[in-house]
Structure 1
Amino acid sequence: MSAKQANQSEVDERLAALITNSNAIRAITSAVEGTLGPKGLDTMLVDKFGDVIITNDGVTILQLMEVNHPAARMLIKTAKAQQDEIGDGTTTATVLAGSLVAEGVNQVSKGVPVSRVIEGLKGGVKNAIDLFYQSARPVETLQDPMLEKVALVAGREHLDIAHLVIEAARLVGEEKLKEHNFKLSDTIKAQENADNQVFSGVIVNKMPMNEDMPKRLDDASILIIDDALEPEQLSEEALSTEAGFAWYRQMQQEFVENIRKIIELDVKVVLVDRGVEDIAEEMLGDAGILVVQRVSSKELKKVAEHSGARAIKRTGLKKDLPELKRYVGFCGKAIVDEKLEQLHILDGKSKPVATVLVGAATEEVVGERERIAKDAASAVQAAVKAGLIPGGGAVELTVARKVEELRREMKGMSAYGLDCVVAALKRPFSQIVTNAGFNPLEKLGDVIAAQMEKNSDSLSINCDNGEVADMWEMGVVDPVLVKVHALKAAGEVAEAILRIDTIIKKREDRHERETGEGNW
């Protein structure tokens, strides 16, 4: 084989790796792109037992679909990162990434070096992100009517869910919404046969330990025990000795004294992380105290935050009464919902906490209703943090034109990488129009011409009639953070995949051979 032939063989091999990865990415993109836009359709996922999930939610589709190819898994991880960071926009991120990879492979196939494509791609993504921020309008107050439009768009036109989410956002306040670690979507819970409601409080998904305990308490004090409410245990071997038995009797007496302290504290609600000893249940129940055991750590934390209670270990109950009082929290109401088998802690005396309870008619739609509400909540919070841009692919088309203008200033072959970004930015609009049943090429030309004529970045297509329309006026708006993070994530995964020019199956180690892990 000549040197020229050897070199061509190496090029073909590297291109084959790129095409293989690109095809895997394309398969993932095609699974979710049909859900994009107001006319997007649902996807049915079926497991080997015949259980069915029907959803329009991109991240749910990606997480549940069976995937073996490593490049496809990379894309799914990117979409999940988008979900974890913003809570919305996973479908957009996936579609953008798929387009960037496909266009990048196309340029490499024409002879453009991968390094030049990546260089132009990174520059194009950076400029596009800057332009997105420049197009954003801030949300001045939580009363801004555009916030309701955000919730409605992200909530897939479910008006009842949009209203619930906006009410919850106003309940927790702007300052809380802008906290980095707070997620409004965490306040969402959907449940079969529940009534739609928003309240200042926390749901504990457990019932009192027995039927005789109170079902409603007003102005209730709360004690949280982040432990078992049981005496310390001894091994059978230790109990068989006289000293061990004497120590056990002493521990039992101290435990009973600690329960009496709880009663003397005038506590009305006791929430326990683990189990509760029978004698403690009996004594506390006789005192009219509502006791709930095996409460999840997440729920205990929320109750503590809302009521001002401080969690205490069982050994901490040895403290004297004045010290113990510092651990007690307060709420306006504690109500047992026997229908839903829950305890509601309402109107806490510390930080405001919102809970959104979304009703669902059947068990089959509970999950989808919750996913829709979480998307709406995430979008509203993102809008409050950084502002809004017109939706419907309008801003992406404007940004694509401006990025394309930068091509004149870019020297060398990296300009071809910029072309990848331009093509990717046009992709969401084209897919939205396609899903609405119109010709994307025709509508793309109509919108670009209208945007240039009116110098507007908010013109796109009304998916009901196919006419050019102003997205601001229609109330079709998106949080700028959703678009920014989607493009950023797409750029990162596209760069990572374009850099791969060889695929090698790694040697299995002993653990992988024994467990079957590590196989594609």
Structure 2
Amino acid sequence: MPDNKEHVRIESGENRQLQALQSNATAVKAVASAVESTIGPKGLDTMLVNEAGEVIITNDGVTILDRMEVSHPAAKMIVNVAKAQQAEVGDGTTTATLLATAIVDEGVKQVARGVPVVKVIAGIQRGVRYALHKMKEKARPIRELEDDWLQRIAFTASRENEDITVAVMEAVHLVGRDKLLENNFRLSQAVVAHPRATSAVFSGILLNKTRANLQMPRYLENAQVLVLADSLESEWVDDESLSTEAGFNKQEHLRKQFLAALESLMGLGVKLVVTSRGLDSLAEDILTDSGIMVIQRVAPDELQKVAEHTNAKILKRNGLYKPIEEIKSYLGLAEEVEDNEVLERVRISGGKGKPFATILVSAATDEVVEERERITKDAASAVQAAVRGGYLPGGGALELSLARDVEKFRETVQGMERFGVGVVSEALLRPMTQVVANAGFNPLEKIEMVKALQLKRESDSLGIDCDRGVVVDMVEMGVVDPLLIKFHALGAAGEVATAILRIHSIVRMKNY
């Protein structure tokens, strides 16, 4: 038996751990409170203000979390999970935040009751895994781009902006299903916003660059395209070698070789050169005089887009000295190339390679156009996620159904881990609770109504109509969400919540 001093030390350690958990839970809840009022059809906007008086009004969860001032370490972990959600699937950040917060809150309650934290964590992990498994089972597939559900998903994700919905769906059909299924392709990256532009959708890409100088042509038709992952300049010998006759002669040879390479490009009819680095003044003068447009210092991801869209193969600088016929096989083709001086971007369209689409978003002011850009990106991400993984009932109905499944699973779990599984079941009620509360109804009353009817009808799609407060079928109402967004939100929420619950104590580091 431990003596009294040892018992006091153990009790003190347990108290310190519980205090740390409660401190973290409080910080996490403070972060969630900044976004919880934005979820659902009756969600409200949040105004963000900085010291300079700049204002952003939005209901986009990741924007709020990214811009708000956060100092507590655990709170920052919640912000990071929202950013990870945005990076992975482009939407669902508020849901991920609410689920993570609820899991932490319910987990701390179980620890306060005396359940060992390691058992709570193990149970949470089992509960989340089971819920994710059941979620996949419940998904409804999208088999073709003409599926009406895609338009409905776009409409919901665009905050019911019809023009954004139409634009996103037009872009979806331009790029096609195969492109949407590519792992590295993000339709949301096709969204470009500008306050002075005219909203439009076109086949092609917009490079965030302009031509190297204004004397180069502004517009090209049926342009042969060279994509160079290098600088467009002659190779140079080092200064020490240049001081010798041999070095000087070598430099002259390299210069002539480079000029011959430029002549070859002009002979092949190249009209557009896109480089990842710069070009020297000699090359610039020669190409300008020959009516060739050069776009320099293009980012690697955009360089890859140009190559894919025009069906060009990316060339290194030493490839310029290959035989003419071999260089020819590296060239791509674009029907139109235009340096848009209003947008300060170059548009490349009608490429002979893979299809790309650009969604150009406009509005009257910078503040509004920024918000429309975020909304359009959300809609594009939601549609692409639905194509990849199908869809599920929205409005918190699916999560409420999963809570019932997890609660049944809890009955099969032996030992104290069952309390952790119960944490997941409780946390899954949070999305509908918040949606109903934001609509001005009593969540306890409404959720019990839905629970009873879901059980009676064996349904996973019953929820609350936020206008009338009655139980309706979310799928029949057209309220659905992509599987991948919900799946990643719950998975990420479980990971960050258990990471926070593992924190035994908080120790301030000394400054060096």
TM-score where L is the length of structure 1: 0.92
Residues 315-334 of structure 1 aligned to structure 2 (within 5 Å): 315-334=318-337
Cα pair 2:20 2:503 within 8 Å, conserved? yes
Q: What is the CA distance between 1:2 and its match in structure 2?
A: 4.4
Mapped partners of 1:425, 1:305: distance in 2: 43
Q: Residues 207-263 of structure 1: CA distance to partner in whole angstroms, max 9, x if unpaired? A: 323444333322211112222222234566655555444444333333322221111
Kindly provide the amino acid, as one letter, of the partner of residue 165 in structure 1. Answer: V
Partners of 1:112 and 1:226 lie apart in 2 by 58
State the partner residue of 1:300: 303
Structure 1 match to 2:493: 490
Distance in 2 between residues matched to 1:257 and 1:457, nearest whole Å: 70
1:5 aligns with 2:14: no
Equivalent position of 2:66 in the other structure:
63
Which residue is 2:150 aligned to? 147
Q: Tell me, in whole angstroms, the C-alpha distance in 2 between the residues paired with 1:254 and 1:180.
A: 41
Matched residue of 1:412: which SS? coil
Find the counterpart in structure 1 of residue 175 from structure 2.
172
SS of the equivalent of 2:34 reads: helix
2:50 match: 47
Contact 2:179 2:185 in 1 (8 A): yes
Taking a change above 3 Å as real, the CA distance of residues 238 and 423 of structure 1, as seen in their structure-2 partners, is same
Alignment map for 1:17-416 (pairs within 5 Å): 17-233=20-236, 239=242, 241-416=244-419
Deviations 1:171-202 (A, max 9, x none): 22222222222222222222222222222211
Instruction: Choose from 494, 502, 506 the match for 1:503.
Output: 506
CA contact (8 A) 2:278 2:296 kept: yes
Deviations 1:475-511 (A, max 9, x none): 1100112111111111111212222222223455xxx
CA distance in 2, matches of 1:315, 1:83: 40
Q: Which moved more, 1:290-299 or 1:33-42?
A: 290-299
Distance 1:300 1:120 in 2: 47
- Judge which range, 272-281 or 454-463, deviates more: 272-281
Query: C-alpha separation between the residues in 2 aligned to 1:2 and 1:382?
Result: 58
Letter in 2 for 1:384: V
**Structure 1: gaps of 5 or more residues:** 514-520
**Could you say what secondary structure the match of 1:39 adopts?**
coil
Pick from 451, 467, 471: which aligns with 1:468?
A: 471
Give per-residue Cα distances to partners, 1:396-442, cap 9 Å, x unaligned: 11111222223333333322222211211110001111112222112
Question: Could you tell me which of 436, 447, 458 is aligned with 1:433?
Answer: 436
The code of the aligned residue for 1:268 comes to: K
Which secondary structure state, in structure 1, belongs to the residue aligned with residue 362 of structure 2? Answer: strand
In structure 2, C-alpha distance between the alignment counterparts of 1:497 and 1:365, rounded to whole Å: 36
Q: State whether residues 107 and 420 of structure 2, in contact with CA within 8 Å, keep that contact through their aligned partners in structure 1.
A: yes
Distance 2:440 2:341 in 1: 48
Q: Which amino acid aligns with 2:129?
A: K
Q: Relative to structure 2, which stretch is displaced further, 153-162 or 48-57?
A: 48-57
Q: Specify the code of the residue in structure 2 equivalent to 1:432.
A: V
Aligned equivalents of 1:13, 1:212: Cα separation in 2: 70
Aligned residue pair count: 509
For residue 429 of structure 2, give the secondary structure of its aligned residue in structure 1.
Answer: helix
Alpha-carbon distance in 2 for matches of 1:109, 1:137: 40
Aligned equivalents of 1:210, 1:499: Cα separation in 2: 57
Contact 2:85 2:93 in 1 (8 A): yes
Deviation by residue 1:327-384 (Cα, 9 ceiling, x = unmatched): 1111122223232222211111111122222223222233322221221111111111
The Cα RMSD (Å) is 2.1
For 1:423 and 1:164, the matched residues in 2 are separated by: 39
User: Offset at 1:91?
Assistant: 1.0
Give the direction of change, closer, same or farther, for the CA distance of 1:408–1:278 in structure 2 (3 Å limit): closer
Whether the 8 Å CA contact 2:237–2:250 is kept in 1: the answer is: no
Q: Which amino acid aligns with 1:256?
A: L
Alignment partners' CA distance in 2, 1:139 and 1:392: 20
Task: State how far apart, in whole Å, the 1-side matches of 2:312 and 2:182 are.
Answer: 21
Give the Cα–Cα distance (whole angstroms) in 2 for the partners of residues 500 and 210 of structure 1. 57
Distance 2:451 2:110 in 1: 25
Q: Which residue of 2 aligns with 1:517?
A: none
- Counterpart Cα distance in 2 of 1:407 and 1:291: 64
43-52 vs 127-136, which moves further = 43-52
More displaced 10-residue stretch of structure 1: 334-343 or 244-253: 244-253
